[in-house]
Structure 1
Amino acid sequence: LRAIAEVPEHLVTKLPGLEEPLATRHWSGYVNVQIPELGSNISVHYWLFESKKGLLNAPTSVWHNGGPGASSMMALFTENGPFTLNDQSFKTARYNESKIPSVFLNEFSWHTEANMLYVDHPAPAGFSDCTPSCPHWNDSTQAIVNSRFLEEFFGSLYPELQSLPFFMSGESYAGVLIPTTALLLLEARDSKYKNVKNVPAPYNLEGIALGNACPGNRIFTCTPYSGWLGVKVAVDFRYGHGMISPQTYELLQEACKADWNKYGPPENATCREILGDDPARPVMDEAGDTYQMGGGYFLYDHCGSDLLSVDPETGMPRQKDQTMDGVSLFDGNDDDDFDTNVYKCGQERAALAWIQLAEVQDAIHVERKPDFSFVTGLNYTFTKYSLLDEYKDTLSQRLRVMQYSGDADPCVPYVGTRRWIDGLGLPVKSAWKPWTLSGQVAGYRTVYQGIPR
């Protein structure tokens, strides 16, 4: 039997507002990462959830949100974590008594299959922080810190997890954060563990899973950052969803054919007039403003304005006190009747109200941060314009890679993801076909084979 290297001071024993107990253990705290070359001591916040299969009976998967600057607490409470809150969190008997929003268990939590490790990175995203101050980040320096965090996490805090399979997962700009980190781990593996059979985590990284991810900030599918390079994908996405008329689409194809895939705005006057001024929101006269449709991340969101709604002036999520035309975007917003399938309305609002409470922050062993936000502005320079060569030459050969895309995300459209993957020229192992779950079509998938070195 392997001993459990407990981190007793990080064990979460009670969560305010939790309606029913979580059957597995979870730990929350900080890992200190000293980076002398960056002039910072970085306190990285993590929250680890034991799998329902048992800590030593499941792989470990680390999760990163994007941004850069988005807290992984966002995914923990609104996507794939064990806990969730929503508009109903303010309507329970427990809330009426305590005024603490109720926390519910998420039946779709990924900790059913894996030990889930949620990390706030790069600092000061989420609860992470630095002393004396956080460095000026870029795509390379964040990978250095991220890889060292993982080394410290597995090597010092949870060595019992080192012999288990390890994966990395995330979404959006984690499409840069994770592959750049993975490349450093592979490099370290080749240097430290060449010809070693049992390689410890994190160097035993088996694969990465990325949702609606940016493979570089100048790749056409990453519309918030790629500028006019991404306008063709943005147009095709809208046409594919019936948001642009066939006549307009055909006119654009002719007028813009010499301007697609250029860094700058179109030179053709007709093309420029139809597209408008914002390449991330083209043809607004016909298609409408996707920043007002699910916040720019989910075209069919019926919940109305929520904390993830994007402010077109800044490109950042709106804050809870913002107004539009003098009307509050959040006060009195009761959207229960507009829930989309199993996605409950008000998740971001309720989760933020809960996690900002002092008693909650004390319970998860973090420094008090009453103004906690799911998104933090960073001093960050984009330096990894494209990872396509790395995917073709290294990542697809040495790791299992899953790129999954919701088909209603106008921010990182699936049509662009499909195009850059096809452009790698990898052999097709299993052609495009339906992907089913419990006998129902849940999507479509293609399986590729890495090219052996």
Structure 2
Amino acid sequence: MSHLLLPLLLLISNVVQSHTAIIERLPGFAGDLPFKLETGYVGVGELEEVQLFYYFIESERSPKDDPLMLWLTGGPGCSALSGLLFEIGPLQFDYSNSSGNRPSLKLNPYSWTKIANIIFLDAPVGTGFSYATTWRAYESNDTSSAAQTYEFLRKWLVAHPEFLTNPLYITGDSYSGVLVPIIVQEVYDGNEAGREPLMNLKGYVLGNPVTCEEKDISQRIPYGHKTALISDELYESTKADCNGDYVNVDPTNGACLTDLEMVSKCLEKIYLAQILEPMCNVISPNHTRLKWSRSILEENIIDIIAMPQQSRPWCRSYNYLYSYIWANDLNVREALHIREGTKKEWNRCNFSLSYTKDVLNSVVYHRYLSKKSLRALIYSGDHDLAIPYVGTLDWIRSLNLTSLASWSPWFVEGQVAGYSIVYTENHRYDLTFTTIKGGGHTAPEYKPKECLAMIDRWFSYYPL
């Protein structure tokens, strides 16, 4: 063991190891868990005032050989448990056998833990079960959260040295598109500086990623045109009258405002996360004039508890109800070893974070990383109106990488699962971009089989 690593071990081993637990059974799941689940807190920041909570699930295939993923759910402020239960984790709610206040769990046949070790992290502070010991420590921003996540990862790997040699990937979706490349740069630069522990960083994975919110949101109008939600005439008129800027609109530009009012009428009843699914009235009316640019996170799932079930359409948002019931059950908290008194209520997404978005465009980090020996996978559900694939492809093209393979379909069980293109920079850095056909925001929730095939092939260096 390196002599530089020993002081770090002595400093943090008691902190990390004393706050971890192996979970063998969970309320709602019949019998013992058929995989290894560990939960715990890791203190980061000044005087470890920030206590980040995590779920760690070992690969169900070969823990010592398979990749190690650090997974961040978006938001900012959306719990890792949401990514675990609704996207890529080994458990999911069994809706047909759940009722009222008794959610049931079942195994997810398309869990990414079948081929990878995954740390699901509640970050930034105030997300999920993560908390701070002082009010001041609850204040965070993009750069401080990324730094705390890097510190978390260092401490976690010191406490779990058996995973130091596993290929490491920093991963996440939605708003994590801002944070992940910052963290990757922190890890890469830390390795270059010889900061212990040295990490076996291979690359990063991003799904439906936010990169620059203004540009991502603006791309909803070209995407709406491509998908026949906006007419040719309205699109051309809006593009001309607004000079291609649909967010920072001059309030005296009446023609542009009129066009955007028409765009709003076309898009305001469309479900942002998946344009083919029902739009649910689970939020308070938005009185802003232009609704096409509404936030993906405006939904407040608690509001629908009081709604009568009859005469309402099925909506995906209703599935999220079970996570509130389950995660706020005292028996579940005890099973997960949640510290008493640290969080009054678990929320799938915490909208009351004291959080500042201080990185308005993360492309600069991708540009830096594209000069390094790394690999990246960027995927987008092609029915996602919140963060349309056309905007993601636009910033990828701005990196001026060399195309290795042209836009082409890839298949799962003989069916087109999406379309991909591969780029490189001097054959050191490679970036694969792919759509997930029929996927929404975020893709694994809608197309789990296809997304598992995608990540398995990419981790194995196979073409999609």
TM-score higher than 0.5: yes
**Counterpart code for 1:298:** Q
SS of the residue aligned with 2:49? strand
SS of the residue aligned with 2:148? helix
**Please, which runs of 5 or more residues in structure 2 have no aligned partner?**
1-15, 288-293, 430-464
**Counterpart code for 1:53:** R
Q: Distance in 1 between matches of 2:33 and 2:370?
A: 36
**Counterpart code for 2:156:** F
Superposed CA deviations along residues 96-130 of structure 1, whole A, max 9, x for unmatched, are xxx53111111111101101110000111000001
Superposed CA deviations along residues 251-270 of structure 1, whole A, max 9, x for unmatched, are 223323x3527734465322
The residue aligned with 1:322 is 303
SS of the residue aligned with 2:381? coil
Match of 1:422 among 390, 397, 402: 397
Q: Distance in 1 between matches of 2:266 and 2:385?
A: 15
Q: Within the alignment, does 1:253 sit opposite 2:239 as a pair?
A: yes
SS of the residue aligned with 1:180? helix
1:62 shift after superposition: 1.1
The residue aligned with 1:192 is 194
1:332 shift after superposition: 2.1
In structure 2, relative to structure 1, the CA distance for the partners of 1:299 and 1:132 (3 Å cut) is: same
Match of 2:203 among 202, 207, 218: 207
The residue aligned with 2:326 is 354
The residue aligned with 2:109 is 107
RMSD, aligned CA: 2.9
The question of whether the paired residues in 1 share the 8 Å contact of 2:301 and 2:317 is answered with: no
The residue aligned with 1:52 is 60
The question of whether the paired residues in 2 share the 8 Å contact of 1:305 and 1:330 is answered with: no
Q: Distance in 2 between matches of 1:330 and 1:57?
A: 48
Q: Distance in 1 between matches of 2:317 and 2:300?
A: 17
Q: Distance in 2 between matches of 1:50 and 1:247?
A: 53
The residue aligned with 1:371 is 345
**Counterpart code for 1:240:** K
Normalised by the length of structure 1, the TM-score is: 0.81
SS of the residue aligned with 2:23? coil
Q: Distance in 1 between matches of 2:323 and 2:178?
A: 26
In structure 2, relative to structure 1, the CA distance for the partners of 1:311 and 1:78 (3 Å cut) is: farther
The residue aligned with 1:284 is 264
The residue aligned with 1:449 is 424
Within 5 Å, which residues of 2 pair with 1:289-304? 289-290=269-270, 293=271, 296-302=272-278, 304=280
Superposed CA deviations along residues 10-65 of structure 1, whole A, max 9, x for unmatched, are 100210110354321111121122425xxx61111000111111321311111101
Within 5 Å, which residues of 2 pair with 1:32-431? 32-36=43-47, 41-85=49-93, 87-91=95-99, 100-133=102-135, 134-156=137-159, 158-192=160-194, 203-218=199-214, 220-221=215-216, 223=217, 230=218, 233-256=219-242, 258-260=243-245, 263-265=248-250, 267-276=252-261, 283-290=263-270, 293=271, 296-302=272-278, 304=280, 312=286, 315=295, 316-322=297-303, 330-332=307-309, 346-368=318-340, 369=343, 371-376=345-350, 377-395=352-370, 397-431=372-406
The question of whether the paired residues in 1 share the 8 Å contact of 2:142 and 2:356 is answered with: yes
Normalised by the length of structure 2, the TM-score is: 0.79
The question of whether the paired residues in 1 share the 8 Å contact of 2:23 and 2:39 is answered with: yes
In structure 2, relative to structure 1, the CA distance for the partners of 1:361 and 1:186 (3 Å cut) is: same
How many residues are matched? 402
- Structure 1 stretch displaced more, 311-320 or 381-390: 311-320
Q: Distance in 2 between matches of 1:59 and 1:204?
A: 10
The residue aligned with 2:434 is none
1:200 shift after superposition: 5.3
The question of whether the paired residues in 2 share the 8 Å contact of 1:303 and 1:346 is answered with: no
The question of whether the paired residues in 2 share the 8 Å contact of 1:139 and 1:177 is answered with: yes
Superposed CA deviations along residues 186-221 of structure 1, whole A, max 9, x for unmatched, are 11111116xxxxx956x3211111011112445x11
SS of the residue aligned with 1:209? strand
Q: Distance in 2 between matches of 1:286 and 1:216?
A: 24
The question of whether the paired residues in 2 share the 8 Å contact of 1:173 and 1:214 is answered with: yes
The residue aligned with 1:279 is none
Q: Distance in 1 between matches of 2:377 and 2:51?
A: 30
In structure 2, relative to structure 1, the CA distance for the partners of 1:127 and 1:402 (3 Å cut) is: same
SS of the residue aligned with 1:239? helix
Determine what percentage of the aligned residue pairs are the same residue.
Answer: 26
The question of whether the paired residues in 1 share the 8 Å contact of 2:170 and 2:183 is answered with: no
